[in-house]
Structure formats: C-alpha cells, structure tokens
Amino acid sequence: MQVDIRDKVIVITGAAQGLGRTLALGLAREGARIAVLARSSAKAAGTVDEIVASAPDAPKPMAVVADVSDENQVRAAAEAVDARWGRVDALISNAGWMPPAGTMRVLDFELADLRRILDSNLVGCFLVTKHFAPIMIRGGGGRIIYVGSMVGTQAGPGSGAYGASKAGVHLLSNVVHQELADQGIRTVALAPGLTVTPGMRVAASEDHIARVSARYPGGRVGQPEDIVPFAAFLCSPAAEHLSGTLVGIRPITG
C-alpha cells in the first residue's frame, strides 16, 4: 500500500518551532491539511506563512492558538478545527518543554518547574486526546502520535522530571490504544534520541552532543527532518495495523 496523506487533516501541537514546525512543513508538502497549533498566534501564523511559501500547491493550512495545558483553550481549538474541516485524521501531540540538562535533580528542583514540565509534556497529551479523539471517532477513526523521548526509557541524573513526564506519555499511548482501538483510534509513541531543535540546544552541552554524535550514523545526531517520512507513514493507511506501541528513533549502541 502506498504511503499517501493527501488531504488528510493533521493537527500538530507545538508547531511553531522545532520538531513540530518541521513536521508541519514536511507533511504539508506531502499534501496534508495542517492545523498549526501553538500558544503564540504570531508564531503559529509564521509557520502557516512558511507552509504557503514553501508548498504553494498544498492545501491551505490553518493557525490555531492554544496552550495545551489549558482545557478551555484545547476545547476551543478542537472546535475551530472541526468547524474548518469537519474532521481530524491525525493528531501529533508534540508540544512540550525541556529544562536545561541536569537542572532538575530530585533534591533541588523547584515545584513550579516540575509542574511546568508535567503540564506541558503530559497533561497536554491527555487534554488534546480528550478533545480531538472524539472528532476522529465520529469520522471513523484516526491516528494519534505522541512525541515521547528516549529519556522516558532511561534518564540520567537531573533528568528525572523530564524523563518521568515522557515515560507517562509512552504509557498513555498504550492505554489510549486499549481504550479506543475498537473505535478506530490508532496510537504510537515516538521516542527520538538526541535531535537538533532549539530546545535541545538549550538543554544539551556541546560536549554531550559531540559524544552522542560519535555513536550515531554518519557521525551526527538526529535532525527533525529525519522524522518527517516516518510521521507520514504513520498518518497513512499503510500503518493501519500499527498501534499501541513505542518506537525508538535512535541507533542501538553497545
């Protein structure tokens, strides 16, 4: 079966920058209808403008403003997408926050920072699922991609809070599969390794990036563009039988 996402309605959270922005641009070039969801209206509109400029033949995208940790805003965002297109075929729950590496040690963390991580990375996944999945179900089903992290499978010192939030995302993906698979919902949690984004540049030192790069194919860490083809596959009918699983995106090193 051919990987084809033309005219699929795909909602991407955290799409104003980093991986979310790259996914929005890349999937739009494949013909998808992209809803760019971000907290900043100016940044969401900026991604929409980039899509229009780089993929003029793609369906016109829409900008949607919402903080994924605010249920009222997420509800309104879902209603806006539904009013525009009448369906949602895929949701990529990507929005999140990564603190600087090693700054969240268990005995030293600030509660406000812990809550920010959990709200952004985990609570947001619950809320977008709650309000976008019913639109998918009404239309016969759809795909939810939760962007987790390899840190959610094995975290180092100072990464307990971020790792715990991403481990929760991985678990949520499987539970949603169990609860909604019979209503047509397919889920997968992606767990990228070190990937070059603005957040990663803040969180990881140059020494750490260099050490990891030496173990990766071609001597480089992941790029957001590396994930676009896989996301396109997951959003297509070709991935219909894949659900409830965690997919790690990094080399196996000994």
Catalytic residues: 162
H or E element at residue 79: helix 71-85
Residues in the chain, overall count: 254
Residue 85 C-beta-side C-alpha neighbours within 13 Å: 26
SS3 at position 221? coil
Q: How far apart are CA 23 and CA 34, in angstroms?
A: 10
Contact 61, 28 (CB under 8 A): yes
Residue 56: CA count within 13 A, CB half-sphere: 1
Structure tokens that stand for 196 in this block:
């070059």
Residues with Cβ within 8 Å of residue 22, at least 6 apart in sequence: 224, 225, 227, 228
Rounded Cα distance between 53 and 35, Å, is: 16
Question: In sequence order, which ranges of 119-197 are alpha helices (DSSP H)?
Answer: 124-138, 160-180
